[in-house]
Structure 1
Amino acid sequence: MNLDINQAIDLISNKLTVWVKELIRLLPNIVLASLILVLGLFIAKFIRRISLKLIRKVSHIETINTLFSSLVYAISVGVVFFVVLSVLNLDKAVTSILAGAGILGLALAFAFQDIAANFMSGIFLSFRRPLAVGDIVKSNDHMGIVEEVNLRDTMIRTFQGQRVIIPNKDVFQNTIENYSALHKRRLDLTVGVSYGDNLQKVKDIAIQAALKVSVRSPDDEVTLFYTEFGDSSINFNIRIWMKDTEQPTFLQGRHEAIMYIKEAFDANDIMIPFPIRTLDFGIKGGEKLSEMDVNVLNGMRK
Structure 2
Amino acid sequence: MNLEEGYSIITEKLQDWLNSAIEMLPNLAVAILVLILFYFIASIIKKYAGKLLHKVTTNKTIVGLAQTVLGVAVIGAGVFIALGILNLDGTVTSLLAGAGIIGLALGFAFQDIAANFISGILLSVRHPFGIGDIIDSNGYLGTVQKLNLRNTVIKTPQGQIVYIPNKEVYENPFMNYTKNGERRIDLQCGVSYGDDLEKARKITLEAINNLEGIDKDKDVEFFYEEFGGSSINYVVRFWVDFRTLPDFWAPRSEAIMAIKKAYDENDIMIPFPIRTLDFGIRGGEKLNTVLKSNSDLSSED
1:202 matched to 2:200: yes
Give the alignment's Cα RMSD to 1 decimal.
2.6
Percent identity (aligned): 48
In structure 2, what is the equivalent of residue 62 of structure 1? 60
Q: 2:244 aligns with which of 239, 243, 246?
A: 246
Q: Matches of residues 1-302 of structure 1 in structure 2 within 5 Å?
A: 4-278=2-276, 286=283, 288=285
Where 1:159 maps in the other structure, the secondary structure is coil
Tell me if structure 2 keeps the 8 A contact 1:281–1:288.
Answer: yes
The residue matched to 2:238 in structure 1 has which SS?
Answer: strand
The secondary structure found in structure 2 opposite 1:217 is coil
1:206, distance to aligned residue in structure 2 (A): 0.6
**SS where residue 57 of structure 1 aligns?**
helix
Unaligned runs of 5+ in 2: none
**Residue correspondences, number:** 293
1:278 Cα deviation (Å)?
A: 4.9
- For residues 236 and 286 of structure 2, the distance between their equivalents in structure 1, rounded to whole angstroms, comes to 40
CA deviation map 1:190-231 (0-9, x unaligned): 112233433332222111101222232333332222233333
Report Cα offsets for 1:59-106 as digits up to 9, x if no partner: 101011101111111111111111212222222212221222122222
User: Matched residue of 1:180: which SS?
Assistant: coil
Distance 1:275 1:262 in 2: 17
Does the 8 A contact of 1:195 with 1:234 survive in 2? yes
Gap change, CA 1:35 and 1:292, over 3 Å in 2: farther
More off after superposition, 177-186 vs 243-252: 243-252
What secondary structure, in the 3-state scheme, does the structure 1 residue paired with 2:239 have? strand
Equivalent residues of 1:156, 1:163 under 8 A apart: yes
Letter in 1 for 2:239: W
Q: In 2, are the aligned partners of 1:184 and 1:241 still within 8 Å (CA)?
A: yes
Q: Kindly provide the amino acid, as one letter, of the partner of residue 187 in structure 1.
A: I
Offset of residue 23 of structure 1: 2.8
1:27 counterpart letter in structure 2:
L
Secondary structure of the structure 1 residue equivalent to 2:184: strand
